[in-house]
Amino acid sequence: MLKTTSMFIRHSLLPTKQTLRLRLAPLHAYMLASLVFTIVATVLDYLVLRPDFFAPMWLFLHGFAIFFFYMMWVAVAALFVQLVTRLRMKKPWPYRQAWPYAVAMTLVPTLVLVALYHAVPALLWLGFVITIVFLTVPLLQIPLKQKNSGRR
């Protein structure tokens, strides 16, 4: 289980053609990857914000909120993936395949978004551009089926 999750995270670091296989990842891989993202983002927020609140409670509540909003972000990304695959292949990926792919391709860009939010909020738009690039580049590498024009 940890081996497939670490493979899922490792392959999601760069948007390559190989990441297209992550759309078939098992449930535990992309949910554990989401949990790892949540923990990393929560700890990053804690280190930057230094809240004057009971730390374990803050970490739990903030982690829950991060996970909830990350899942909403992934849902939007999965819809975007379906749109791109529909435009590219005339048939969208089913949502059950778009979701794991969206999780894989939003892990790094969303961490960049969080870091930009803390470091340079004016460049937050750059995080959204990186997200679109991460989501779209591998999808543009999907081989299209050639329709054979019948011989006359």
Q: Which amino acid is residue 123, in one-letter code?
A: L
45-79: pLDDT as tens digits: 999 988 888 889 999 999 999 999 999 999 999 99
Give the pLDDT confidence score for residue 64 in this predicted structure. Answer: 95
Top-confidence residue, 41 or 149? 41
* Least confident piece of the model among 1-5, 30-34, 85-89, 136-140: 1-5
Distance of CA 79 to the CA centre of its chain: 12
Q: How confident is the model at residue 148 (pLDDT cuts 50, 70, 90)?
A: low
Provide the token pair at 45.
């927020």
Whole-model pTM? 0.88
pLDDT at 120 over 60: yes
Residue range 116-135: mean pLDDT, rounded: 94
pLDDT at 151 over 60: no
Residue type, 31: M
Phi, psi of 115 (to 5 degrees): -65, -40
Q: Give me the phi and psi of 15, to 5 degrees please.
A: -80, 90
Average pLDDT, the chain: 91
Segments making up each domain of the chain, as ranges: 2-139
Q: In this predicted structure, what is the pLDDT of residue 152? A: 52
Q: Summarize the confidence of residues 30-40 as an average pLDDT.
A: 94
